[in-house]
Amino acid sequence: MSKTKEHFSSRIGFILAAAGSAVGIGNLVGFPVNAAKNGGGAFLLVYALFIFIICLPIMIAEMAVGRKTGKQPVGAYKNLSNNNKLWGAAGFIGVLTPFMIAVFYMVITVWLFGYLALTVTGNLDYLASEQGFSEFINSPYLFAVMAIVASMIHFILVAGVKDGIEKAAKVLMPALFIMLILMVIFVLTLDNAMAGVKFFIIPDFNKITPSVINSALSQAFFSLSLGMGILITYGSYINRDTNITNSAKLVAITDTAVAFTAGLMILPAVFSFDPTLNPDDLSASSVSLIFTFLPKIFLALQVSLGYFGASAVAAFFFLLVFFAAITSLVSIIEVPVSYLITEKCQTRKKALSTLLMTAGVLTIFATLSFGMVSFFTEFLDYADKTNSFFDVIYDIFYDTILPLNGFLLCIFVTYRWKKHNLSKELSIGNEGYMGSWVEKYVNFSLSTFIPVIVLGIFLNTVAQKFFGFSLLGF
């Protein structure tokens, strides 16, 4: 029996859902951390350029492939390559990637909800203590929290595209924007906050180094969820009259605006907490900043706001980041759900049950890999260090595979599907596309310098992560 294909009910619903997939922990915390470590305004400038010069064409191509085929990566690649097995395998990597990313992202989302609960119940001082985080991530209560978060995700996804994903995005994304703006307004009232603003906004062009360029490009690529199969899958849910290029621009602008605003929230708070702080002293880890550094900043607010006030601000922040994590996690999990529905002919409920039994078990293993079980804590040795099960998943599927998937997409749309077919698809809903400078730039960039750049990121990441050296010499 054929099933009616699900679609987003409106353009704004699609844009908010796609923006929700892109706006996550990487935007709210990862971007400010990278900005602090890489020259502030200099990093911001390079990042914004890369979003629109390199990342936007890939985003447009992913959406076009999805809408043309009405399928997720496996079905899309098979459909447009006449069931070529090699391209089918490339599509499978595009589904396996978000499946595995969902594992570690779920762990972090559970932590966020746990921190939110502990903050609300008056335990901010414990979270800000030296032993707080290490004890928290090995608490057996995490599995109860995991069940709660999994139930939230299931509730959204089981309702489908229009009644689940789109409705959730229409509620969570505006709420996230409002909370973010309120947090920025509050942070800017803190002492020495303007020092952080100046560091973040005013570029020092002497700080634009090869290392900063590499970091900005990597952050831009990861920020938009490129290579995760999300935009191909979401593209399969949009109507034929949707202007893909304009929609992609709006998603990119929204994502960049959130990242910029998050920088106005985090960096002034950091400078206010320690006016003499050297940004290079910050950990490069978003996880470390969220769960160890920021609780100390929030606790320090008790001098002026009292303990209750400081806890309220902290709870507001953790709720904000939790909303961002939920919107991203829903999008990530929807890719393998869509695969099971379209390729394996499962119902949506059965697909979610399948993922619960597979990704759910792997998430439990990842949760156990911070000291609870030595096998998962000391899972694999590479690059002269012992890595946990959580680390291995993160290193392979988030840091490494995403640019490879981006490279494969560029090669596929330009040399297998062909550029004229891409242009024909993008002209639907956009009468002025054919012959425009946008068409010429998209086709040129996807077939020349963009695949070279993303392949370079992939190879350099492999060298750094697994062999301990950089191909670029920095």
Q: What is the pLDDT along the chain (474 residues), one digit of tens a residue?
A: 345 567 887 788 888 888 888 777 777 877 887 887 777 788 888 888 889 999 999 999 999 999 999 999 999 999 999 999 999 999 999 999 999 999 999 999 999 999 999 999 999 999 999 898 999 999 999 999 999 999 999 999 998 888 888 888 888 888 888 988 998 898 898 888 888 888 888 877 777 777 778 778 878 877 787 888 899 999 999 988 899 999 999 988 988 888 888 888 888 888 887 776 566 555 555 677 788 888 888 898 888 889 999 999 999 989 988 988 898 899 999 999 999 999 999 999 999 999 989 999 999 999 999 999 999 999 999 888 899 999 999 889 888 898 899 999 999 999 999 999 999 999 999 989 999 999 999 999 999 999 998 898 889 888 888 888 877 665
Q: Where are the domains of the chain?
A: 11-366
Give the number of other Cβ atoms within 10 Å of residue 246's Cβ: 16
Residues paired with 243 in a beta bridge: none
Q: Do 247 and 63 meet the contact criterion of CB atoms below 8 Å apart?
A: yes
E strand or H helix at 98: helix 85-120
Beta bridge partners of 387: 380
Inter-residue contact 83 to 408 (CB < 8 Å): no
**Is the C-alpha dihedral spanning 169, 219, 137, 465 positive or negative?**
positive
What DSSP designation does 293 have?
I
Cβ atoms of 274 and 294 within 8 Å: the answer is no
Question: Nearest CA to 81 among 421, 336, 441?
Answer: 421
Element (H, E) at 386: strand 385-387
Q: Looking at this protein, which amino acid is placed at residue 104?
A: F
At 207 the three-state DSSP class reads helix
Q: Is 202 helix (H, G, I), strand (E, B) or coil?
A: coil
One-letter identity of residue 239: N
Question: Max Cα separation, the chain?
Answer: 67
Tokens coding 164: 């689940």
Whether residue 227 contacts residue 151, with contact meaning beta carbons closer than 8 Å, is answered with no
How many C-beta atoms lie closer than 10 Å to residue 295's C-beta? 26
- Give me the sign of the Cα torsion angle 158, 329, 383, 405: positive
pLDDT attached to residue 2:
42
Residue identified by tokens 């594992």 is 103
| DSSP 8-state code for residue 99 | H
pLDDT of 1: 38
How high is the pLDDT of residue 280? 59
Are the C-beta atoms of 180 and 316 separated by less than 8 Å?
no
DSSP structural state of residue 279: G
Structure tokens at 174: 């505006």
For 11-366, which CATH class? mainly alpha
pTM of the model as a whole: 0.91
